[in-house]
Amino acid sequence: MVKIERLVNAIEPLNGAAMEAATRRLNSLTKPIGSLGVLEDLVIQLAGITGEVMPHVNSKMVIVMAGDHGVVAEGVSAAPQSVTPQMVYNFLNGGAAINVLAGLAGAQVKVVDIGVADPTLRHEKLISRKVSLGTANMTKGAAMSREQAIEALMIGVEAAGAEIEQGVQLLATGEMGIGNTTPSSAILAVYSDAALSVIVGPGVGLNSEGIDKKIQAIQTSLAVNQPDPADPIDVLAKVGGLEIAGMTGLILGAAARRTPIVIDGFISGASALLACKIAPRAKEYIIASHLSEEPGHKILLDAIDLEPMLRMRMRLGEGTGAALAFNVIEAATRIMREMATFEEAGVIMD
């Protein structure tokens, strides 16, 4: 826990002076004050994060954490577990939606195998940091040990740090793991009074019978493991996932290095919730990209007090919503740098 305590202590408040200066500049641009709405909010937040009045996000990256889940044995997913490594290869070969949308935004995609249940998974572009061959079935006991949860979290911290040191200015969370809406729903259930029937959705396409199995699996997991909401690492270990832990680390690692981190949908949101329970100040460094079609996503974002930028009826995961939001975030920074002030344009409002 010493490493995590140091990490938490490294997350500093936003730079208030930079935010005030950014606000003054925005108010001097040739537009009514506040008329660009979320774009203005974004650039003020970025100024606070980076300390730069006119921040840049030229170098962008989505880090996809991939891991499997033992709870799929309970029939909680419409897709077989074999899809996880198949999709990892698809990401690495550039054929997935995340590759297309990241490419549109001029962003890189990197994939970390943090717990795919395929010991043969190999690729020259794959970052192999496998903690185990997936998690255990959380209906029978803890999904992973506390030590494994911390190890996976620190892999995310290290991944964020390595890319930021190489010049990445904007990071995003992505994930791949068949069955991972189940642990995400379980994590939310620990921190929400909402009924599981409200939180739990179809994932990649469950029918009503499958949703009932999913709810039962979550109920059983919570009863068997009794995760402690006052100890987010305990929650992560007992009913979480390796890729969820990795993304939690990505968020904390980015915040500790004063770098904005864009979260994707429901599973990324579960990681953000845990990150903010571990280090409440991390919230200031998070940008919520979109509102997923997963029914629990709004409840989850409300629990963190984050407002999503986009509503696109998306529920794919991979980091796709975050990659799409990169374009909006870059637009905000360009407004700040490229738009003329009233004085520069010779526009007199008196």
- Encoding tokens for residue 99? 């590759």
| Confidence (pLDDT) at 205 | 80
Q: Residue count of the chain, please give it.
A: 350
CA-CA distances (angstroms) from residue 227 to 28, 30, 218, 251, 273? 51, 53, 12, 22, 15
Domains 2-54+336-345 and 60-328 share a fold: no
Residues in the chain with pLDDT < 50?
A: none
Q: How are strands ordered across the β-sheet holding 170-176?
A: 127-128, 107-115, 60-67, 170-176, 261-263, 286-288
Domain boundaries, the chain: 2-54+336-345, 60-328
Q: Are strands 286-288 and 261-263 parallel, antiparallel or unpaired?
A: parallel
Which listed residue (40, 163, 318, 330) is catalytic?
318
Q: Look at the domain 2-54+336-345 and name its fold.
A: 1.10.1610
pLDDT digit string (tens) for 201-245? 887 788 888 899 999 999 999 999 999 999 999 999 999 999 999
Evaluate the CA torsion angle 335, 336, 338, 341 in order and state its sign: positive
CA distance 232 to 246: 14
CATH architecture of the domain covering 60-328: 3-Layer(aba) Sandwich (3.40)
CA-CA distances (angstroms) from residue 212 to 82, 186, 201? 23, 14, 10
Does residue 318 have an active-site annotation?
yes
Do the beta carbons of residue 102 and residue 284 sit within 8 Å? no
How many other C-beta atoms are found inside a 10 Å radius of the C-beta of residue 16? 10
Q: Comparing C-alpha atoms, which of 10, 4, 12, 79 is closest to residue 50?
A: 12
Q: Which residues contact 51 (CB under 8 A, 6 or more apart)?
A: 15, 18, 258
Q: Are strands 261-263 and 127-128 parallel, antiparallel or unpaired?
A: unpaired
Segments in the chain forming alpha helices (H):
2-10, 16-28, 38-50, 83-92, 97-104, 146-165, 181-191, 196-199, 208-225, 232-239, 242-256, 266-278, 296-304, 320-338, 342-345
CA distance 109 to 92: 8
CA distance 289 to 334: 18
Q: Which position has the token pair 């890729």? A: 243
pTM for the model: 0.97
